[in-house]
Amino acid sequence: MPAIYSARHERMKYGDIKLYTGSSCPELADRIANYIGLELCDREIVQFPNENLFVQLHSSVRGQDCYAIQTTSSPVHRNLMEMLILLQTLRLDSAARVTAVVPYLCYARSDKKDQPRIPITARLVADMIEVAGADRYMFLDLHAGQIQGFFNIPGDVLTAFYILIEYLKEIKNKMHRPVVVTADLGFAKKARNFAESMDVPLAFIEKRRVSNDSKAQALTMIGDVKDRDVVIVDDEVDTGGSMIQAVNLAKNSGARNIFMVFVHPVFSANAADRLAALPVTEFITTDTIPIPQEKLAKFGGRLKTLSIAPLLGEVILRANEGRSGGELFNE
């Protein structure tokens, strides 16, 4: 056997890459496929009148390295079930390896029992993904890192930090004495990484939240933001309550321009309307969740969406060839 073929065969022990997507993020899946240089594989997804879902692959995946790309944003339960059924379909067709590529994982906030008589739903979702047939997972910026411990299968938890920080470095020269502010003390460590990378100070907003209450009370600004441009960072924006309070508190504390940075644009209910009404210079996020055009229009060009497709595409290539994903981040 020629040495070149032998080495390539050794790297590709799981077969060729096969990319499949549900209906939740087709544009992101297309961008990932374009980065890798492949076409998305054909499949059929049908919802019957009784709301049951049906998935059928249009070609065999026997012995192949399959990736099911599906974000689990709204409609959450439809998208979650689509992903689970797609995973099982790939497993039953004898795929050599099945990876669940989930840019945004639903129920990630339900990660612990902090009240009596409540579930740990993130653990349930992890169990379902495994039982459905996933051999591996790929997530992006989990709300709580301990969710990795709910899985008995290996996986990659990636971060959009480097994508966001590169853009912030590009626009830093346009800012006046910038300072990074975290709207959630639970995000303080990651916020510190933003501040260190930008070489700017860090401030905190103290708030109090009840876990099953979507409203959060911003209390105190810890740090100096007066006469400074403020970069407010968080992992996701759901109803927008925390961010709205953070912006108002920053303005009341004497901040100049405000930049809002977050990974997952969940934008539940009327969050887009409420955020668009804020005195924010620029909203900076990623495409882990598709934003409908009618919501994008509300921001009047102030919302910048950075794509995570090159990151996911590169990690998929490295996983297929048995190379380290950590090398991308010098880890």
Q: What's the pLDDT tens digit per position in 43-101?
A: 999 999 999 999 999 999 999 999 999 999 999 999 999 999 999 999 999 999 999 99
Nearest by Cα to 86 from 99, 104, 73, 105:
99
Residue range 177-203: mean pLDDT, rounded:
93
Place of tokens 């020269």: 173
pTM for the whole thing?
Answer: 0.92
Residue range 177-182: mean pLDDT, rounded:
97
pLDDT digits (tens, 9 = 90+) for 2-47: 444 344 445 556 899 999 999 999 999 999 999 999 999 999 999 9
Whole-Å CA distances, 112 to 25, 155, 188, 207, 331: 28, 21, 20, 20, 29
Pick among 1.10.3720.10, 3.60.110.10, 3.30.230.10, 3.40.50.2020: CATH of 3-159+309-326: 3.40.50.2020
pLDDT of residue 185: 77
Cα torsion through 89, 91, 96, 97, rounded to 10: 90
| 230-237, strands of its sheet edge to edge | 216-222, 202-209, 179-182, 230-237, 258-265, 282-286, 303-306
Structure-model confidence comparison of residues 9 and 168, the more confident one: 168
Question: pLDDT at residue 248 above 50?
Answer: yes
User: Please, what is the average pLDDT of the chain?
Assistant: 92
Domain ranges of the chain: 3-159+309-326, 161-306
Whether 207 is a known active-site residue: answer yes
The catalytic residue among 174, 189, 190, 207 is: 207
pLDDT of residue 6: 44
CA separation for the pair 155, 106 (Å, rounded): 17
Nearest by Cα to 79 from 150, 18, 112, 128:
128
CATH architecture of 161-306: 3-Layer(aba) Sandwich (3.40)
Token digits of residue 49: 């009148």
Place of tokens 């109803």: 239
Query: For 22-33, b where at least 16 C-beta lie within 10 A, e where not — what string?
Result: bebbeebbbbbb
